[in-house]
Structure formats: C-alpha cells, structure tokens
Amino acid sequence: MAVRHFLSLLDLSRDELNALIRRAIELKTMQQRGEIYAPMQNRVLGMIFEKSSTRTRVSFEAGMAQFGGHAIFLSPRDTQLGRGEPIEDTARVLSRMVDIIMIRTFEQEKIESFAAHSRVPVINALTDRYHPCQLLADVQAYVEHRGSIQGKTVAWIGDGNNMCHSYINAALQFDFQLRIACPPGYEPDPAIVARAGDRITLLHDAQAAASGADLVTTDVWASMGQEEEQAVREQAFADFEVDDAVMACAKPDAVFLHCLPAHRGEEVSASVIDGPQSVVWDQAENRLHAQKALMEFLLLGPR
Ligand code: CP
Ligand code: NVA
C-alpha cells in the first residue's frame, strides 16, 4: 500500500478527516479514564524542528510515549541538516530508521520534497503555508463544545498566513463558511482561496467578518520568521484585534479559538482569550489527542 502523508488537510478525504475527529475524541476519553492503549510499541517518531515550538513538540512526544513508542527530537543546530545535507538525503536515511516523521519548517516545498523521498509517513507540523495539525485540534474543540461544524460560519480575523490557509482548506473539507478579515496587503494566497470557492468571503473589517459567526479565531500578527516586520505589522493590524466589540457581533454562543502562543493586547484582548467564550485550553490539549489519532491512522490504518 502506498505511504500516506499529511502535508495539508487536502491529503485526507472528508470522510477520513471526520473519522479522525471522532477517533480523537475517543482517544481523549480513553486517556482521561486512564486506559492504557499502546499500539505503537517499538515504533519511533522522528521530529524535525527548524522553528520553535511548545505545543507541537510536547503533544507529539507525549502522544508517542502514551502509545508505547518513542520520539526523537532533531534540530538543525545539532544535525547535519544545519550544515547543508540535502533534505532528500536526510529523508532517505531517516525513513530507513524511524516509522513516522513530523517536520516543522519554512517552505512547503521542503516538506513536499522530504515526503517524496521518504519511505514512511510524513506529517506537516507547520510550514509557512499550512498548519494542518492545528486545524484537527480546532475542529475537535468546536465539535466537543458545539457539535458538527458543517454549515457553520467561522470568522478568521488577522493575517492571511499559514493558519488562515489551513482554515480555508478546512472550510472546504469540513464544509463550513469562512469569513476572513485582514488588512489590505495581508490577504491569503488567492490560489488557496479560489480552490475553496464560495465558502470563502474576503473582507477588510473585523466586525463585519464576525457578524453572526459561530466561531471567531485569530493568530499572531507576525509569524515565526517575520519577527523583523513586527513594528510595521502592529500598525497595519491595529484595527484587527479580537476584542469584546468584535465578539459582540458574533452569535451569543460563539466560541473563541486561538492556536497559541497569543499576544494579549495585540491580536486578542485579555478579556476575550481569558473570557467565558474562549475554549483555547481545550483546543491546545486537543493537539495531543488529534495527533495521536493522526499517527494511528497513518501507521495502522482507519479505526
Ligand atoms: N500552536 C502551535 O503550534 O504551538 P507551538 O508553536 O507551541 O507548537
Ligand atoms: N502563524 C504562526 C502560528 C504559530 C503556531 C506562526 O507561523 O508563527
């Protein structure tokens, strides 16, 4: 059977994605009950991080440990990747030693090239273009709190970045409406928007995007790798903070999500992220359960 990768949400079918969310909820219940489920004894996960991480590293590593397997953290600082060994060669070698690999890097092309030379499943743990693992956790959080996301309206407020692109793919795959409000010049990639068709509405006004929404979400104004743009972006995004006025435009039972790390007083007010509509801690926890479901699917098949 051909190796399956998870480089974007488009690599799985709608049915597979929905089954994955159901399985993630199941694995969460099992974990909370203290049930031991260790289907990955003697399996090894390779984790390549070319950018910082708290949630992604800990959730993958803890998830593999709970499954009875092992995880190896690899950074360019102390591997040959940082000294110019080609990504294709690294993929060929690592995939003869480990069973599954996750990568956090810059260019999407890099992870695609890695996957093309890998014998084992490769997971996108964030690139400049996408962050699909985060969307599994986000959809799981919505489903747990409000039920199916199909047909719902989601408001994305902020940068047309990797998270925004993954929300666009999620709108297509999980079948919801997505209203994006970003400053002019910070729109998502038009090709990614076009693929999702009439599910996407592009606006430049945060309150208009949030109007009647079931879910409101945002992300940092300057992503990893854009640190030197912080000051310029603070000015450009000044009108795009998710605050109480923006949340008041959404449905009264709307939930607030943020992939984290968050900057209170920039993209979100403390009153919103620490307020009653915020489910960001459940969302963060779900990285663990959703990625366990993902690794199980890629290595052991559908459950
Ligand atoms: N949301 C997320 O991916 O967090 P980390 O950067 O801490 O992994
Ligand atoms: N857009 C952010 C997401 C961090 C999880 C970044 O790429 O830095």
The number of the ligand 2 atom at minimal distance from the alpha carbon of 226 is 8
Task: Give the number of the ligand closest to the Cα of residue 163.
Answer: 2
Task: Give the number of the ligand closest to the Cα of residue 49.
Answer: 1
CB 17 within 8 A of CB 293: no
The number of the ligand 1 atom at minimal distance from the alpha carbon of 56 is 8
Residue 243 and residue 202 in one domain: yes
Q: Is residue 3 part of a domain?
A: no
- Of 104, 129, 165, 233, which residue is the catalytic one? 104
Answer whether the bond into residue 261 is a cis peptide, omega within 30°.
Answer: yes
Residue 100 and residue 139 in one domain: no
Respond yes or no: is residue 138 known to be catalytic.
no
Instruction: Quote the strand ranges of the chain, DSSP E.
Output: 44-49, 70-74, 100-104, 122-124, 153-157, 177-181, 200-203, 215-218, 255-258
The fraction of the chain above a pLDDT of 70, given in percent, is 100
| 236-273 pLDDT tens trace | 999 999 999 999 999 999 999 999 999 999 999 999 99
Respond yes or no: is residue 205 known to be catalytic.
no
Q: Is residue 1 part of a domain?
A: no
Average pLDDT, the chain: 98
CB-facing half-sphere around the CA of 111: CA atoms within 13 A: 28
The pLDDT, as a whole number, for residue 154 is 99
Respond yes or no: is residue 104 known to be catalytic.
yes
Residue 120 and residue 168 in one domain: no
Residue 269 and residue 146 in one domain: yes
Helix (H, G, I), strand (E, B) or coil at 53: coil
| 194-222 pLDDT tens trace | 999 999 999 999 999 999 999 999 999 99
Answer whether 267 contacts ligand 2 (Cβ < 6 A): no
User: Which residue range(s) make up the domain with 87?
Assistant: 9-130+286-300
Residue 278 and residue 142 in one domain: yes
Respond yes or no: is residue 259 known to be catalytic.
yes
Answer whether 259 contacts ligand 2 (Cβ < 6 A): yes
CB 216 within 8 A of CB 207: no
CATH number for the domain that contains residue 61: 3.40.50.1370
- Of 5, 129, 131, 258, which residue is the catalytic one? 131
Respond yes or no: is residue 134 known to be catalytic.
yes
Answer whether 53 contacts ligand 2 (Cβ < 6 A): no
- pLDDT band at residue 152, thresholds of 50, 70 and 90? very high
Residue 279 and residue 169 in one domain: yes
- pLDDT band at residue 9, thresholds of 50, 70 and 90? very high
Six-digit token string for 73: 């953290």
Residue 272 and residue 290 in one domain: no
The number of the ligand 2 atom at minimal distance from the alpha carbon of 55 is 5
Residue 163 and residue 102 in one domain: no
Residue 149 and residue 230 in one domain: yes
Residue 90 and residue 175 in one domain: no
